[in-house]
Amino acid sequence: KQEVTQIPAALSVPEGENLVLNCSFTDSAIYNLQWFRQDPGKGLTSLLLIQSSQREQTSGRLNASLDKSSGRSTLYIAASQPGDSATYLCAALPNAGNMLTFGGGTRLMVKP
């Protein structure tokens, strides 16, 4: 059974800082790895999707990497802004099946 873990559970940084959020998964037989953002009381917004054959994806100030062999993914946020404050969730999609397994999320606070 796939297990996804995110560390840290919460993070507070000053505005402008570059930061890294970590995601680890136990089963490397994944089809893709996805990162989402969730604002309080809201649904999830897809940020980046990395296919199993890819090493990284970039969108604006966000860069996500994937290392299947070590079961790890990182989300790098450059020049953080207060508007980046949210919970960030990673999720792994298996090769067989359509069930995304989510981590518990990292709650990010960027202070002005």
Partner 1 sequence: DTGVSQNPRHKITKRGQNVTFRCDPISEHNRLYWYRQTLGQGPEFLTYFQNEAQLEKSRLLSDRFSAERPKGSFSTLEIQRTEQGDSAMYLCASSTNSGDEKLFFGSGTQLSVL
- Judged by the rule CB under 8 A, the positions of this chain that interact with partner 1 are 4, 31-32, 34, 36, 41-46, 49, 51, 89, 91, 93, 97-105
Nearest distance from C-beta of residue 6 to partner 1, angstroms: 8
Residue 15 Cβ, how far from partner 1 at the closest point, in Å? 25
Residue listed under structure tokens 């090493």: 55
3-state secondary structure of 78: coil
**Residue 16 vs 104, nearer CB to partner 1:** 104
Taking the C-alpha atoms of residue 3 and residue 80, their distance in angstroms, rounded to an integer, is 29
> Tokens for 22?
């970590």
Q: Which is nearer to partner 1, 65 or 101 (CB)?
A: 101
CB of 35 to partner 1, least distance (A): 11
